[in-house]
A and B are shown apart, each in its own frame.
Chain A
Amino acid sequence: MTTTTAPTAATGPDRCPLPSPRGPLSEAMTALLTGAGRTFPRVADADPYGEDLQLALALSHELVYRGVAGVEDDLEWDPAQLAARAEMQDHFLAALRADVAGGDDLDDVIEELLVEPADGEGVSHHFARDGEAWQFREYVAHRSHYHRKEADPQSWVVPRLQGAAKSGLVSVQNDEYGAGRGARMHSTLYADMMAELDLDPTYGAYLERTPWPVLAEVNLQTTCGLRRSLRGAAVGQFAVIELTSSPASARLVQGIRRMGLGPATEHFYAEHVEADAVHEQVLRRDVLRPLLELEPGLARDVVFGIQATEHLGGCFAAHALPAWREGRTSLLALLT
C-alpha cells in the first residue's frame, strides 16, 4: 500500500479508484456508474450523515473532478446519476440547515472565526500538544480526500461571481495553484508530504477507508460550488478554510517538529501559515466585502456556508479524537 512515487511521475490522468459500497445508496450509485443498474433507492430514509449516503454522493461528485476508474466520462451528465445526486444533496442540505444556528449577522460570525480559542480541543491542538506520528499519518490520509484536489471545489464558484469579488477570489486561487508553477501547487506539495510519510499519494488512494465526516466536508464544498443558488455558501465555506487555516497550520508545524517528521511535511503546513495569513485578508477585504455590497441578500447563505463547514469540522474531530484517545484507527481500516 506504500509507494514513494511522486505524482509528477504520473503516466496518465488521475482516476479515483472505485471503492466498495457501504449500503444501498452507494451500491446503487456504483451500479449506475458501472452500467449494472439504472434504479436508485429512496433517499429520504437514509441517514444524511451516514457512510452510505456520503460515499454515494462523493462518488457522484468525483465525476466532476478527475473521474472514477472504469467509468465513462459522459456519465457526468447521465440523467439518472444527476437525479440521484440532486436528491442526496437536498437531503444532506436539509439536515445541515436544521443543525446550524443560521442568521445573517456575518460580522459576528467572522469575528468568532477570527478569535483563537485559548483552550482549543480540536485536531490541530491535539497534534501541537501530544498527538502521535501514526495518528498524524491517519490525519494526512483523511485530508488527502480534499488536499489532492485542493482549491478545485472552490473554483466552481468563480463564474457565479462578478466584479471585484471574482478578482479577489481568483487571486487566492492563483496562490493555491502555485501561481504558474506546478511544483508549488498545494495539491502537489500535499503529494510530496504523503510520499515522505510513506503514504500513497495516488489520487483517491484512501477513499476506500475514508469515513463519512471527511466525505461530507468535501461533498458540501462541491454541492455549494455546483449550485449557483448556493454561491454565498460556497464563499462562506471558502472563508472558513482561509480564515482558520493559518493558526491551525502553525499548531500542526509545532506538532510536526515535536514528532520529528520530515521537511516536506513541515513545509506543507508552514506554507499554509504564511499563505493563509494573506488569504484571510484578501477574503475579507476583496471577496466578502464586494460580494455583499453587490448582493446584500447573500449574507444568510454566507453564514450558512460558514456554520455548516464548522459543524462538519466538529463532526470530524468528534470522530477522530476519541478513536485516537483509545488507540483505535480513525479510518475505516488500519493503514499499513
Chain B
Amino acid sequence: MSADAAPAAAAEEPRRNRVVVSDDGPLLVDGPVEISLPDGRTVSADRPVVAICTCQRSSIYPLCDTSHRRRHRRKGLR
C-alpha cells in the first residue's frame, strides 16, 4: 500500500459502534439501537449512548436506571 493510499484507506475504515463493558454497572452501547427481549418485545433507544442494564434490577429494564447502586442507611438530602 502506497503512502498516498493510506488516508483513503483510513477514510474507508467502517465507523464501528462501541460497546463498553464496565465492572460495576450497565453495558454502554453507541445508539440508536433496537433491543430484542426474550419475551418478544423490542425496545428502541435513540440516544447517542445507551446504558443497558446488566443487574436486572432496573425499573425501566432493559435500560439502566442506576438501581445497581449500593444502598445504605444514612441521612440523605436529595
Contact = CB atoms under 8 A, between A and B. Distances in A.
B76 interface: yes
Contact of A116 (B28, B48, B50, B76): B76
B15 interface: no
Interface string B38-78: 00000001011111000000011001111101111111111
A117 B73 contact: yes
A175 B70 CA distance: 26
Contact of B77 (A116, A175, A317): A317
B49 A123 contact: no
Given A246-B66, A278-B64, A281-B28, A117 B74 contact: yes
Given A278-B64, A280-B66, A174 B48 contact: yes
A313 interface: yes
A325 to B, nearest CB: 15
Interface residues of A, number: 36
Main secondary structure of the interface of B (DSSP, over half): loop
Contact of B75 (A119, A124, A250): A119
Interface stretch (A39-47, A202-210, A231-239, A269-277): A269-277
B48 A179 contact: yes
Interface residues of B, number: 28
Contacts of B67: 247
Contact of A122 (B47, B50, B77): B77
Contacts of B22: 281, 285
Nearest to A254: B59
Nearest to A276: B66
B20 interface: yes
B47 A171 contact: no
B30 to A, nearest CB: 10
Contact of B72 (A118, A247, A270, A282): A118
B69 A278 contact: no
Given A246-B65, A273-B65, A281 B51 contact: yes
A104 interface: no
8 contacts: A118-B72, A119-B74, A122-B76, A246-B65, A250-B59, A273-B60, A277-B51, A277-B63
The 9 closest A-B pairs by CB, nearest first: A117-B76, A120-B76, A277-B64, A122-B78, A246-B66, A122-B77, A278-B51, A314-B77, A277-B51
Given A175-B49, A276-B66, A281-B49, 9 more contacts: A116-B71, A117-B76, A118-B71, A120-B77, A250-B66, A277-B51, A280-B25, A281-B26, A313-B78
